[in-house]
Amino acid sequence: MGDIDDRVTVETGVFAAARQFLALERDVLVLSLAMFAFSLGYQGTNQYMAAYLYALGAGPVVVGLFGSLGNLISAVYPYPGGVVSDRIGSRRALTLFGLLSAVGFGLWAVAGAIPPLVTPALAVGPVGVPSLTIPVLLFVGLFLVQCWKSFGLGATFAVVRQASGPGELAAGFAAPETLRRLAFLVGPLLVAAALSVFEFERGFRVVLAGAAAFALVGTLVQHLLYDASADSLGDSFAGVGTVLADFRSLPSELPPLLAADTLVRFANGMVYVFFVVYVEAALAGPVAIPLVGSLSPAAFFGVLLAVEMAVAVVSMLPVSRLADRAGLKSAVGLGFLVYASFPALLVFAPTDGLVIAGTRVPPAALFVLLFAFSGLRFAGLPAHKALIAGPTERDAAGRTTGSYYLIRNTLTIPSALVGGILYARSPTVAFATATAVGLVGVLVFARYGERFSSSA
């Protein structure tokens, strides 16, 4: 046991992830750098879109519809992405998708600045639509922003699967995943900085313009440095018939994992887009931060996201190392449990603070603790990916995992819309229901999920 502890100590932390990252072959390194740039822009904006929609007059059902459309795009984009890649080549395809993503961020940025074309406001039941201009631009932008993000998922799995030796699969996923999460940490802090200077709507448009700039930089880097002469990314998705055949031939470890994963992700998708508006409403006023000063609730939400990602970055690699040696199921189950329990913990947290051992913990500090806990859900992510890719053949990892994610993402498409309908009734109903659904997934995985060692 001491030997394991020593090895974990030596290899943990961001610096270990950076060493593994820099050891990647050139093309993977280039794509990872582009991924960092796009993740910086996407994560800095994605979790604020509900607040942006609210600021522009939309209601919870419209926000839920926006989230479900994002789920739909994530599910179906790999297919046209693969077709385009096959037709024009990976290098040109990646450049095209990057440029489209930058345009999408730009559309989001100008949406709030364009005067309404239709007045007065429209209202159909609980759905509030203040004008047709703003929702249309935001929804069109969503189709464009996700172009790069949703491309090449199966190929990413295949590269890591082929590059990882026995006993190193979870750690192989952890190195690039940890560095990608660094972008998820920095992005919200940049948003918080912008929102501490400007009022929300103007500040967020500045953030969106910055995201467009990061997307352009990432596109330029990958276009100039990426050599796709020998790759075949587009072959990861060859058609619906292939996906169905791959699903029927999934290794026995994967169907129970897929069922549990789908339930947990459906639960998270119900409320994920509403975290920002709930926190803003719960705080209902400026938050004092030591050494920083007073932040608006929207800016403070960026700090919460950074805390969440800091815990993820610190915990991901050591947990993955332990999972490689002790088995992957426990680490994956931990992540599922945090995913499932967080919504209920958040909505039932007392908005006037909490008294612990005679000491009052204010609401802002309580939210910091809750989002730190939420960061542990990412600790099991490398083990989760290893559990998907591990049982597959090395030359079939991209195709099999592509099918897995297509099925999961397709089944979770309506989650945000369902959550929006429930949130229109009350946040408590939406968040409590999400936790109930997620806990069913945890139980399914605990009962039927199979153990797998990455050294197999």
- Per-residue confidence band for 97, with pLDDT thresholds at 50, 70 and 90: confident
Using CB atoms within 10 A of its CB, is residue 241 exposed (0-12), middle (13-18) or buried (19+)?
A: exposed
Residues 6 or more apart from 267 whose CB is under 8 A from it? 339, 340, 343, 415, 434, 435, 436, 437, 438, 441
Cα angle, residue 13 at apex, residues 218 and 25 outer, rounded to 5°: 45
Half-sphere exposure in the Cβ direction for 329 (13 Å, CA): 17
Give the highest mean pLDDT range of 52-56, 234-238, 360-364. 52-56
pLDDT, position 270: 96
The sign of the dihedral angle between the CA atoms of 22, 25, 26, 30 is negative
Using CB atoms within 10 A of its CB, is residue 247 exposed (0-12), middle (13-18) or buried (19+)?
A: middle
Structure tokens that stand for 366 in this block: 């309580």
pLDDT, position 399: 60
pTM of the model: 0.80
Say whether the peptide bond before residue 120 is cis (omega within 30 degrees of 0). yes
pLDDT, position 124: 47
Q: 142 with 70: CB under 8 angstroms? A: yes
Tell me: pLDDT of 451 over 70: no
pLDDT, position 169: 53
Residues 6 or more apart from 122 whose CB is under 8 A from it? 128, 129, 130, 131, 132
Give the highest mean pLDDT range of 7-11, 89-93, 119-123, 225-229. 89-93
Q: 445 with 260: CB under 8 angstroms? A: yes
Tell me: pLDDT of 198 over 60: yes
- Per-residue confidence band for 56, with pLDDT thresholds at 50, 70 and 90: confident
Other CB atoms closer than 10 Å to residue 63's CB: what's the count? 25
pLDDT, position 33: 75
- Per-residue confidence band for 313, with pLDDT thresholds at 50, 70 and 90: confident
- C-alpha torsion 207→180→84→75, nearest 10: -90
- Per-residue confidence band for 89, with pLDDT thresholds at 50, 70 and 90: low
Kindly state the percentage of the chain with pLDDT values over 70: 66
Tell me: pLDDT of 370 over 50: yes
- Per-residue confidence band for 394, with pLDDT thresholds at 50, 70 and 90: low
Residues 6 or more apart from 299 whose CB is under 8 A from it? 191, 192, 193, 195, 196
Tell me: pLDDT of 177 over 60: yes
Residue position matching structure tokens 């789920």: 71
pLDDT, position 181: 72
Average pLDDT over residues 331-357: 88
Q: 300 with 364: CB under 8 angstroms? A: yes
Q: 41 with 209: CB under 8 angstroms? A: no
Give the per-residue SS3 of 394-437: HHHHHHHHHHHHHHHHHHCCCHHHHHHHHHHHCHHHHHHHHHHH
Domains of the chain: 2-448 (1.20.1250.20)
Average pLDDT over residues 214-227: 81
112-156 pLDDT, tens digit per residue, is 666 655 444 444 455 444 445 666 788 889 999 988 776 544 444
pLDDT, position 93: 73
Tell me: pLDDT of 168 over 60: no
Give the highest mean pLDDT range of 11-25, 158-172, 236-250, 307-321. 307-321
- Per-residue confidence band for 312, with pLDDT thresholds at 50, 70 and 90: confident
Higher pLDDT, 286 or 371: 371
Residue position matching structure tokens 């490398």: 382
Structure tokens that stand for 409 in this block: 């993402």
- Per-residue confidence band for 11, with pLDDT thresholds at 50, 70 and 90: very low
202-220 pLDDT, tens digit per residue, is 999 999 999 999 999 888 8
Structure tokens that stand for 330 in this block: 């426990």
Average pLDDT over residues 271-280: 94
pLDDT, position 441: 96
